[in-house]
Structure 1
Amino acid sequence: MTEQEMAECIRRAARGDQPACAQLYQRFHASVRRVAQGYAALGTAEVEDVVQETFVRAFRELPRLQHPRAFSGWLLTIARHHAYALSRGAKARERVEESMAREAEVTAPALPPSLTLERRVAVVRALIEELPEGPEKETARLFYLEGELSAREIAERLGLGKSAVTMRLERFRARVKRELLARLLAAEVG
């Protein structure tokens, strides 16, 4: 793609043209992924979060970009900032998890498996209820609360591809992980 074609693609994407956005994603997603993978504290799911969030932010803010030539550097800067923020959070969560694991070994007697399962179900149910109404909440509800449908069956019921359902479930799992760790951090600090 020539520089002029790239500039036109960026202008179209700034106007919300989905094929142009898809072209930019195809061209730059590997670069954004490499930036995120450079942060050792980030796991695979978090690297994917960085890629996804980088493009969401970039496409939302694209109309403000004054010079299309700056797109690549600007996009990678967004990726670095998001990866850095996530890696700082990952390091803090890791410290809290280690501390809590040591403390739990010393002070907490083991819970019976049935009680542990009940608590986990209650936490997941509460987190699903806190989600805003929409497709992600419906997908999580069908998979985790009804618990009888596979991802393929949910996709058929919702009229989606299985990959869309899988992606929604992955986003929900990442959200649950972040929320639980945030609550644990708050309890630790508080």
Structure 2
Amino acid sequence: MEVLSDAMLVKEVLDGSKDAFAELVRRYERPAIASALHVLGRHHSAEDAAQEAFVRAWRQLPKLSKPDAFGPWLLKIVRRCALDMADRKKADVSLDAAAGLPAHQGNGQLDDDNRQLLNLVMGLGKAERQVVLLRYFGGHSVRQVAVIAGRSVGTVTKQLSRAHQRLRSQIKE
């Protein structure tokens, strides 16, 4: 089975293929939800924001100037949708919402070590928590985290380093 690039899928979508868009949704659903989860703090709200972002992306796809940059472009839309929802709902970040991230065992439950680590991550400052969640729970590269968060790669790298130091010192306690 041939794996098509994002650019090829975008071209097929623009040519009318709904299956190609379904494949883009399949590829980016988890990163989109993880990105929205950071802003909204509730898994259900994050799913809603991701769904809204996919609808907006579908409508705006003809305006995408670089089809090979679909992922970062979509994640910017996700962030805008999540921020819009947060403004409307004034969402709170909660541990229960973060438990929906992919750091769980096959039965859907976090094991004790992961729950403890997630508790520590949720105790980080907002900026550090965001980059850690996007990088390690969302599976994004440092560069993608920078684009989603609207920060430079250097800033994200520094925030990840500080977060690692804080987590390391807390784990040793």
TM-score, normalization: structure 1? 0.44
Higher helix share: 1
Structure with bigger gyration radius: 1
TM-score, normalization: structure 2? 0.48
Q: Answer 1 or 2: higher relative contact order, Cα 8 Å, separation at least 6.
A: 2
